[in-house]
Structure 1
Amino acid sequence: MFKQPSFFLILFIVAGLLSCQSKKEEPQTEISAVPPKIVFVIGDEEYRSEESMPMLAGILRRELEAEISLCYPLDSAGYIDPNRLDNIAGLAALDSADLMVLFTRFRVLPPDQLKHILDYAESGRPMVGFRTATHAFLYPDSSAYTHLNAEWPAKVFGQQWITHHGHFEDGKIPLTAVRPDTTVSHPILKGVSPFQAYSWLYHVDGGDWQLQGDSKPLVFGRALRSGHEAAGRLAQFPLDNPVAWTKTYSGDSGNVSRVFFTTLGHPYDWRNPNMRRLALNGIYWALDLPVTDSLDVAYAAPYLPNNSGFGQKFKQGLKPEDMPIVVGDGQ
């Protein structure tokens, strides 16, 4: 004769079934992502990118455990020399990079060095550009590379060099009021509040000029002083202009690059945490990484930059290993 199962037996069976079900629904352990390889291409003789880019790299190494390569302009003795226009060491690191960060101005690189930058840009991998990357190169008219002077930065980053609103007591007073576009929602804007920048405002949009491609402005600036205003040219060069945007670039590979660009980048801009957050958010977005409120934008090493300016205003007698963040030998 069949007997009813006891209460305790039923309880045991139910508990076992629930245990099996919970094991099935238990999430798989996530495989940790490989830290990104980020290559900074440095070479501007005005805005102390040789100081600001290592500062930014230090934060990224701390926050992402990123593999960093800093490619500096070096003289024949291996010293960092922003005035050396025809040599940036270590660019082969771009061949295996996950992100290129470009902060150069009017460089005239030899073909073997230039090839690493151009090949990277055509690969479909992400790119970030700062300030003078709108005029990253300046080849003579007789060169086969003159298209890099204006056409290339406009296609890749969204605009070429046009003009700015004027220096005015460089480094003594802020010259641009920066405000995020509050009408859009974008991860790059997370945690970015209005601030005042020491960068004088670049003109990139308005009058006879428009941002190119699918550029989407996210942050705007207003010139606090303007030579164009004094000369009555605001119809051509208005006081308000985009200072940061996203776009895409489709290279020869057919792959589409994520691109973030900002025309800010004066050495004193980086002392403001909002500037650092904007740049870091842009880098995370370009790498297709989540932008979180917990991102720590504090310096990883002291940041005490020289003011902007030409000539011998940079810190002299330094080699790559002397910089606050030591990441490779830059060779």
Structure 2
Amino acid sequence: MNVFFPAGKHFLQTFTLCIAILCILAVSTLSFAQTAKSKKPLVVFVTGDHEYSGEETLPIIAAELERTYGMRTKVLKANPDHNSEKNIPGLEILKEADLAVFYLRWRQLPKDQLAFIEDYLKTGKPVMGFRTTTHAFNFPKGHESEKWNAFGEFALNSPPGWGGKAAHTHYGHKSSTDVTVIPEQAKNPILTGVDPSFHVRSWLYRVLPDYPTKGSTWLLMGKSVDPDKSAIENPVAWTGTNSFGGKVFMTTMGHPEDFRIESFQRLVINAIHWELGKKVPKSWKGKLDIQVPYREAK
């Protein structure tokens, strides 16, 4: 027994050392994986509109960001369906977000859900918005959350809600819009690969004369085609800094048929990179197949 004891002891020590090394390697590998994951920016899409199928178009954009551009994404949707104005589950993920993208229309979210959005805005992180997000919320006059009706203004440099003193309106559902790059912005990285002019199905939103807010940079101008009233040209995409110090990209385009257009797809992908402080990709992986129908608002 005395002869074999030292050898047994040595084996036990060696075995223990090997286990310890394996544990260290496992922890290091896990830590490396977690670090690599954390370096991928998280883009959170918050959707809920009655009309434009944002909860269907934006997941396709999200999938492309993950597949091609090394990002993490999360798409939140109104529940139980797009017409549900008072519930968007999962907003707590905004605590981890590097970019929040909103496609909302006339929501009336509860205070606890609004708090997650407010906390995000207060961080000064970037914000992106599509079309009806100019009138994302619609609380009745005197409601404790009425201030949120001006979300478009304080978060996205757009008119503070629909109609009102801002005269925020459009030129008829049967009209569409010719879009052109504003010449002074032709070399703006967000417009990389975007055609100098293209046509979208979105009927033009009027935001002038007071919006976008002072200091915003207009990128694209829209001209109404077959308007139902006297129309003026209006900016349809701009950047800026919001009242919380966060970078802004806002577009009043966003009809589901707009997402079929390659220039619009590039605009969106480019803007997301710009918002995150990443270099806008010069190479383009090709047009995405986005076939989402428009639906009439309730």
* TM superposition score normalised by structure 1: 0.73
Match of 1:221 in 2: 222
Match of 1:84 in 2: 84
Q: Percent identity?
A: 37
Give the distance between the partners of 2:46 and 2:214, measured in 1 at CA: 24
Match of 1:127 in 2: 127
Superposed CA offset, 1:208-257 (max 9, x none)? x332142110011100021222xxxx4xxx1x110000010242xxxx31
Superposed CA offset, 1:282-302 (max 9, x none)? 111000110122132533xx5
Does the Cα contact within 8 Å between 2:154 and 2:243 map onto a contact in 1? Answer: no
Give the distance between the partners of 1:286 and 1:297, measured in 2 at CA: 22
Does the Cα contact within 8 Å between 1:267 and 1:308 map onto a contact in 2? Answer: no
Q: Counterpart of 2:170 in structure 1: which amino acid?
A: H
Give the distance between the partners of 1:118 and 1:58, measured in 2 at CA: 26
Match of 1:199 in 2: 202
Match of 1:277 in 2: 266
Tell me, which stretches of 5 or more residues in structure 1 are unaligned? Answer: 1-30, 76-80, 169-173, 312-331
Could you tell me which of 62, 65, 83 is aligned with 2:70? 65
Structure 1 stretches of 4+ moved >2 Å: 182-185, 295-299
Superposed CA offset, 1:111-145 (max 9, x none)? 11111111111111111111011001001113122
Q: SS in structure 2 opposite 1:183?
A: helix
Tell me, which stretches of 5 or more residues in structure 2 are unaligned? Answer: 1-34, 163-167
Report the CA distance shift for 1:217/1:297 in structure 2 as closer, same or farther (over 3 A): farther
Does the Cα contact within 8 Å between 1:285 and 1:291 map onto a contact in 2? Answer: yes
How many residue pairs align between the two structures? 254
Superposed CA offset, 1:131-183 (max 9, x none)? 01100100111312212113x32122111231011101xxxxx7100111122
Q: Counterpart of 2:218 in structure 1: which amino acid?
A: P
Does the Cα contact within 8 Å between 1:35 and 1:64 map onto a contact in 2? Answer: no
Q: SS in structure 2 opposite 1:200?
A: coil
Deviation at 1:53, TM superposition (A): 0.8
Does the Cα contact within 8 Å between 1:158 and 1:212 map onto a contact in 2? Answer: yes
Q: SS in structure 2 opposite 1:60?
A: helix
Give the distance between the partners of 1:154 and 1:267, measured in 2 at CA: 24
Give the distance between the partners of 1:127 and 1:176, measured in 2 at CA: 25
Is residue 188 from structure 1 mapped to residue 190 from structure 2 by the alignment?
A: yes
Larger CA deviation: 140-149 vs 91-100: 140-149
**RCO (CA 8 Å, sep 6+): is it higher in 1 or 2?**
1
Give the helix-richer structure, 1 or 2: 2
